[in-house]
Amino acid sequence: MNDSIDTEGEDYLAHLLKEYYHPSIALWRAIEVKAINRYFRKNSILHPILDLGCGDGKVSKYIFGEGEVDYGLEIDSECVLWAKELNIYKNLIIADAQAFPFRQEYFNLVFSNCVIEHIPDNEKVLKNVTSSLKNGSLLIFTVPSNKFGEYLFFYSLLKKSGLKKLANSYSKTRNELLNHYHCYEINEWKEKLNKYNLEYVEHHYYLSPKTVKVWDFMAAIIYLLERVRGWRLLEKIFNASPVVDQFRIRLFRTLLSPFYKEESDESGGGVLIVARKGQGCE
């Protein structure tokens, strides 16, 4: 693991703002990286590792470090090309998580960041994960919590205005647009994991209610700008010179730091879940 990255108090918000122009994406990913690294600081990482749904690799870059992940699996071939440039993965495979290409009882860790909720048949994924893990090894994954929809800015605004049906409709539509098929309460996750011989170990919430509201508000504004091509223009301006880009990073870092630092102990819009494969597999 890259100790120069994984340090207590590391400003992942600044790192992720460099990676993503979209400030709401940078905020979400920075808080995820902080939550995941907090867990890994207290627990050792054993190889071989699979990053399930690795995407462009930018999140794992700040969790594992260069050359530290044995396999990255991703269905999007364009994302695989981006991930390859980062040199995080020893091997990159283009495949569907519902159809694993790995042999049984191979991995000591399967890691997945905000992927499982996007897959309609997540039970097939969990079954494959169980098959690929050695007995006693870990599945560590992050997903939106069952409270995500209730913490959205416009859901809260509509509900406070007495428009409960419209608020519920907004929450439902937002999850559908994000392809959030599975936003379970933690006990539902325990039951689902147990069904596939994955024993629940612990969970940790992240993304405070206030932070989810800020994320939703920013995402909505940028969505509207994208509709009129305004955000594309801003990206061109940000990319015009290093000085302008540094100003963008400093500006959003200042505005978003309070939400990046806010903790979520009892509830949050996201949850990190740790499960261990049992000794007997169905």
Which pLDDT tens digit goes with each residue over 95-110?
A: 998 888 888 899 999 9
The dotted CATH code for 12-277 is: 3.40.50.150
**Nearest C-alpha neighbor of 195 from the set 119, 98, 124:** 124
Percent of the chain with pLDDT over 70: 96
Higher pLDDT, 20 or 227: 20
The mean predicted confidence, pLDDT, of the chain is 91
Angle between helices 209-227 and 242-261 (to 10 degrees): 150
Q: What is the dihedral of CA 207, 208, 211, 212, to 10 degrees?
A: 70
Query: How far does CA 250 lie from the centroid of its chain?
Result: 23
Task: Give this prediction's pTM.
Answer: 0.91
pLDDT score, position 280: 56
pLDDT score, position 220: 92
Which pLDDT tens digit goes with each residue over 5-18?
A: 445 668 999 999 99
pLDDT interval class at 265 (50, 70, 90): confident
**Nearest C-alpha neighbor of 218 from the set 29, 55, 26, 14:** 26
Which range among 4-13, 142-151, 194-203, 269-278 shows the weakest confidence by mean pLDDT?
4-13
Angle between helices 153-160 and 164-177 (to 10 degrees): 170
CA distance 93 to 191: 30
Which pLDDT tens digit goes with each residue over 178-190?
A: 999 989 999 999 9
Residue spans per domain, the chain = 12-277
Which pLDDT tens digit goes with each residue over 204-250?
A: 999 999 999 999 999 999 988 888 777 778 778 887 788 988 999 99
Tokens of 117: 């909720």
Average pLDDT over residues 192-199: 95
**Nearest C-alpha neighbor of 82 from the set 144, 20, 1:** 20
Question: Residue 65 — φ and ψ, nearest 5°?
Answer: 95, 175
Q: How many CB atoms lie within 10 A of CB 235?
A: 14
Residue 267 has pLDDT above 50, yes or no: yes
pLDDT interval class at 35 (50, 70, 90): very high
pLDDT score, position 232: 77
pLDDT score, position 8: 62
Amino acid identity at 207: L
pLDDT score, position 6: 40
Percent of the chain with pLDDT over 90: 78
Which residue stretches of 121-208 are H helix?
122-132, 148-151, 153-160, 164-177, 186-195
Residue 88 has pLDDT above 70, yes or no: yes
Q: Are 23 and 252 in contact (CB under 8 A)?
A: yes
* Dihedral sign computed on CA atoms, order 57, 63, 68, 73: negative
pLDDT score, position 53: 95
